[in-house]
Amino acid sequence: MRFEDQRKLMIKEQIIQRGITEENIINSFLKVERHLFVPIDLQHLSYHDYPLGIGAGQTISQPYTVAYMLNLLDITSTDIVLEIGTGSGYQTALLAELSQYVYTVERIKVLSINAKILLSEMGYNNIYFQVGDGSKGWEKGEPICKAFDKIIVSAAAPTIPKSLLKQLNDNGKMVIPIGNRYQQEMVVITRGKNKYLKSTYGLFSFVPLIGKEGWHL
C-alpha cells in the first residue's frame, strides 16, 4: 500500500474513529508525511498506531497521541506556539500547519539540526529552533519571545515546570504529561488573569523531560 493510502487509513481508523474530527487537525495530518520523520528502516511502520524510535533514545509519538494533544490545545491560525521536544520534527510540522509561528526546543543537538534541515527543505519558514533545556522553555532563545498562546510538552515531567507557566499568555493553554517515569496523566493548564486552571485527561507513557525543572539524568 502506498504511503498516501496508509496515511489516509491512519487518519480514518486511528484519529477520526476515535473522536477527533476537527477539520484543521485532519488537514494537517493529511498534509504532513509521517514516514519522512522516521529512520528509513522503520518507514514501513510509519502509519501504525504506536511510537517509533528516532535515535538518541527518543521516540516519535503514536499518531493518535499527537492528535489528542493538538485537539486539547485548540490551536488557531494566529497562535504563537512553544513546543518542548522537537524530536524528528513531525509534530513541529503539524504545529506549523496549524499556527502562525512555532518556537521549538530540543535538548539533543543532532535531533534539532536534522529536524531543522528537513523542515527547511519542506518549505516551512514559520519555525524557530533552539537547542537547550526544554524545562526552562524559550529562555534565552532567539528571536526573543517571552510568552506564548499555546505550549505543548512532548516529554513527561514530575511536576509542572514553573518556567513554562510563566511563559504562558493570559487565556493561553499548555498540555503536558505529568507523573513518574513510566506513566503520566495528560494535564491541561489554562491561564486566567490571576490563576491557573488544571484539568487532567487519561494515562499515557512518554520519555522523560530532562532538565533543571524536569527529571535529572
Structural domains of the chain, ranges and CATH numbers in brackets:
64-204 (3.40.50.150)
Task: Compute the average pLDDT of residues 186-204.
Answer: 94
Cis ω before 177 (30° cut-off from 0):
no
Task: Note the pLDDT of residue 217.
Answer: 78
Q: What are the residues whose beta carbons fall under 8 Å from the beta carbon of 95, sequence distance 6 or more?
A: 70, 75, 81, 83, 102, 104, 152
pLDDT in tens, 38-82: 999 999 999 999 999 999 989 999 999 999 999 999 999 999 999
The 3-state DSSP class for residue 130 equals strand
The 8-class DSSP code of residue 74 comes to T
Mean pLDDT of the chain: 96
| pLDDT above 90 (res 28) | yes
Task: Note the pLDDT of residue 117.
Answer: 98
Q: How many CB atoms lie within 10 A of CB 15?
A: 22
Name the nearest CA neighbour of 16 among 67, 73, 74: 67
| pLDDT above 90 (res 199) | yes
Instruction: Confirm whether pTM is higher than 0.75.
Output: yes
Rounded to the nearest 5 percent, the helix, strand and coil shares of the chain are: 35, 30, 35
The 3-state DSSP class for residue 81 equals strand
Task: Compute the average pLDDT of residues 86-94.
Answer: 98
Task: Note the pLDDT of residue 1.
Answer: 81
Contact 92, 127 (CB under 8 A): yes
Task: With cut-offs at 50, 70 and 90, classify the pLDDT of residue 147.
Answer: very high
Element (H, E) at 115: helix 109-121
Task: Compute the average pLDDT of residues 115-120.
Answer: 98
Task: Compute the average pLDDT of residues 14-20.
Answer: 97
| pLDDT above 90 (res 110) | yes
Within the chain, strands assigned E span: 52-55, 58-60, 80-84, 101-106, 127-131, 148-153, 168-179, 184-191, 196-204
User: Annotated catalytic sites, by residue?
Assistant: 61
